[in-house]
Each structure stands twice: as C-alpha cells, then as structure tokens.
Amino acid sequence: MTFIRVFYCGLLLVLLSGCVIQSSQLSALTGLFKSPPVDLSANSWSVRYADHEAIVYAITVPEGTLFSNKAGDQILFDGWSIRQVRGMGRRGLDYQNTDNSNQRTFMRGNRKVAIHSCMAWQQQEQSGMIRFSQQCGDIEPYVNSILVAKDGSIALIHQVVDDRYTAMTLTKLN
C-alpha cells in the first residue's frame, strides 16, 4: 500500500508541475498578442519601380537592409547595391544581382539575364549632402546613385535593378 501511495503522490506532483509549465507558457504566448504594435513609420520609405509605387519599411538583417511591406514587395540593399528585388506588384518577379570586379551580373531566378560593366563609386558634395554615383552600362549607359544626408543616413537610393534597365528609387519618408 505504501508503494502505491508514493507512486500516486509522485504522479500527482508530475502532473501538477506540468500544469504550471503549461500555464506560464500560455501566459507568455498570450502576452505576445497583447503587446502594443510596433510603430514602423520612422523606417518608412517610398519605392518606385516601373509603374509600381508603394510604401516599404526598412529592417536590418544580416545581409544589409530589407525593405518590405505586407503586399510582398521585398528589396535587399547591402549598403551599396540593391541585391534582390521581389514582388513590385508582379507575381513571380525575382531579380538578384552580384558584383565581381567591375561587372554586375543580373539574374532572374536561376538564369543569368545580363552582365553590365560598372565603374567604381564616385563621391561629390551636393547641397550639403553627399552623392555617391556609379557609371554602368552594357548597351545603354546609366548612373546608379545614393544620396547621404549630413547625419550619415541614406536619404535616397536610385539604381537599375534588372536587364531591361528599369530603375528603382527608394526615398526615405521621415
């Protein structure tokens, strides 16, 4: 009889301790849903690509800065170049680019679609801001640019992001 009582007491303790763990886990989970929404307006940007315009929000990720929104637009910027573009109002839009020496390679999905020659970035002061510009081209010449404010923050990014020479412009809103 003593063994059975000890067994049932131990079983009861295990079951009760399990309830406490589940209760605290549930409290933590419900706390996530009750937390106030994060205000992303300080990180809002306007994006223009061809005939598509939208508001995106900048989030720091290990690869650089990801501009994204609920509509599925995604732009990855590494600090100098726009590396990836998805969405932009079109299903299946997926461009990536990589730089190697003085060449920028444009990929759509897994397919190489263009290689453009690009010069080194140049810097010039413009209206109290610093403008970085880069001459590129293949069939047509174009200029990529980044405008940096006095405080060191980026105010504008303008770059060709695909093989059709379509430029994308990201403008800081706040």
**DSSP assignments along 22-79, one per residue:** HHHHHHHHHHHHHSPPP--GGGEEEEEETTEEEEEEEEEETTEEEEE-TT--EEEE-S
Q: What is the pTM of this model?
A: 0.76
Statement to judge: residues 29 and 48 lie in one domain: no
DSSP classification of residue 165:
-
Q: Which domain holds residue 29?
A: 1-34
Statement to judge: residues 84 and 154 lie in one domain: yes
Statement to judge: residues 1 and 77 lie in one domain: no
Statement to judge: residues 29 and 47 lie in one domain: no
- pLDDT at res. 33: 55
Kindly report, residue by residue over 17-71, the tens digit of the pLDDT.
444 444 454 455 455 555 556 556 678 999 999 999 999 999 999 999 999 999 9
Statement to judge: residues 58 and 138 lie in one domain: yes
Statement to judge: residues 15 and 50 lie in one domain: no
